[in-house]
Amino acid sequence: MSTRGRPVSGPLCLMALLTALLIHGYGMAPPNPQASRAAGQKTGEQLYREACASCHGIDGRGVEQDRLGFDLPVPDFTDCSFATREPDSDWVAVGHAGGPARTFS
């Protein structure tokens, strides 16, 4: 590609391409980020209440151990010092498959 006999510089082409991609991407973004939630997606709070609160409590402090029947107490999410010893991959596994009661999660 040339302009009046001169080649178009690489950085100029790159800037034009990036600008076009930015404009195209902006046009694809939903006008309201909450619009996708209207399609049935739940908030994190809704998911927690439905899947976690029965063991961890609404406030995250955990339900009494004798009510759950687990050998280990449920961690208190309001005191995050307990979370320092587990690698992130363990938390991802618990989030996907549940904790000690995985058959109930």
Task: Note the pLDDT tens digit of each residue in 41-60.
Answer: 888 899 889 988 988 899 98
Q: By the 8 A CB rule, do 101 and 70 touch?
A: yes
Q: By the 8 A CB rule, do 56 and 77 touch?
A: yes
Domain of 93 in residue numbering reads as 43-97
User: pLDDT band at 104, cuts 50/70/90?
Assistant: very low
Q: By the 8 A CB rule, do 83 and 77 touch?
A: no
Answer yes or no: is 79 within a domain.
yes
The tally of domains found in the chain comes to 1
Answer yes or no: is 62 within a domain.
yes
Answer yes or no: is 82 within a domain.
yes
Answer yes or no: is 6 within a domain.
no
Answer yes or no: is 15 within a domain.
no
Looking at per-residue pLDDT, the higher value among 59 and 24 belongs to: 59
3-class SS string, the chain: CEECCEECCHHHHHHHHHHHHHHHHHHHCCCCHHHHHHHCCCCHHHHHHHHCHHHHCCCCCCCCHHHHCCCCCCCCCCCHHHHHHCCHHHHHHHHHHCCCCCCCC
pLDDT for res 29: 62
Could you read off the pLDDT of 73-102 as tens digits, one per residue? 888 888 877 665 667 787 777 777 776 654
Answer yes or no: is 5 within a domain.
no
Answer yes or no: is 81 within a domain.
yes
0.85 surpassed by pTM: no
User: pLDDT band at 38, cuts 50/70/90?
Assistant: low
